[in-house]
Amino acid sequence: MFRRRHKASIAHRARNIVWPRLGWRRYMRYMLHRLARLPGTPHSIAAGFACGVAMSFTPLVGVHILLALFLSWLIGGSLFSAVIGTIVGNPWTFPFIWLWIYNLGLWLGFATAGAGQVGFGAFFAEFIEAALRTDVGFLVDRAWPILAPMLVGGAITALAVWLIFYFILKPLLKAYQNKGARRIRPVI
């Protein structure tokens, strides 16, 4: 009954991921409605989503979802909203996130001998290859001088981002759920 008349092509679906057909503003409103309709309290949904967003600001690519799930479980957040929150870290935002957390770590004084200008794409490609080969020498000599400032900058940024998203989302979700409850309540 509610299916498309003609199935969307793969190219059409890919284009909608890059640029939604109805625009980003409407897509974000839709995602807020979807988030607010998740089962749970405003605290659990906001805490879970904030965990997902915060873990996206760490340089530990590949384990963001696992870290978000663990942190969300630890503080009593919604696991599903934690997974949704990790969408903030994506191929379009990672370069900006990595530059920010790396420079923040350097600014805070966590520069090591090998730190300097970094080509993050090449670095992470080399890092993955070295990890697959279990090349500990590369990890110590080349990766640690870059990862140390990123870990420090990422931890501080993750904490700040968690606080921002939690304290913005919780009242919005509470108001949205209260509005829905008033609509459902019978009139006497």
Tell me the DSSP string of 62-92. T-HHHHHHHHHHHHT--HHHHHHHGGGSSTT
pLDDT tens digits in sequence order for the chain, 188 residues long: 567 777 878 887 777 777 777 787 887 788 777 777 788 889 999 999 999 999 999 988 888 999 999 999 999 999 999 998 998 888 788 888 988 998 899 888 876 655 556 676 777 778 778 878 887 787 777 778 888 888 999 999 999 999 999 999 999 888 888 876 555 555 55
Please check whether residue 166 is in contact with residue 50, taking contact to mean a CB–CB distance below 8 angstroms: yes
pLDDT given for residue 175 in this prediction? 87
Asked whether residue 91 is domain-assigned, the answer is yes
Nearest partner of 33 among 145, 149, 172, 161, judged by Cα: 172
Asked whether residue 38 is domain-assigned, the answer is yes
Residue 52: domain span: 10-178
The reply to whether the predicted model has a pTM over 0.85 is no
Phi and psi at residue 31, to the nearest 5° = -65, -35
pLDDT given for residue 125 in this prediction? 78
Residue labelled with tokens 């790396």: 102
* H/E segment holding residue 119: none
pLDDT given for residue 133 in this prediction? 83
pLDDT given for residue 112 in this prediction? 63
pLDDT given for residue 182 in this prediction? 57
Asked whether residue 14 is domain-assigned, the answer is yes
Q: Give rounded-to-5 percent helix, strand, coil for the chain.
A: 70, 0, 30
CA atoms of 122 and 113, how far apart (whole Å) = 19
Asked whether residue 105 is domain-assigned, the answer is yes
Nearest partner of 48 among 33, 70, 29, judged by Cα: 70
Asked whether residue 188 is domain-assigned, the answer is no
Asked whether residue 77 is domain-assigned, the answer is yes
Total tally of structural domains belonging to the chain: 1
Asked whether residue 82 is domain-assigned, the answer is yes
Asked whether residue 5 is domain-assigned, the answer is no
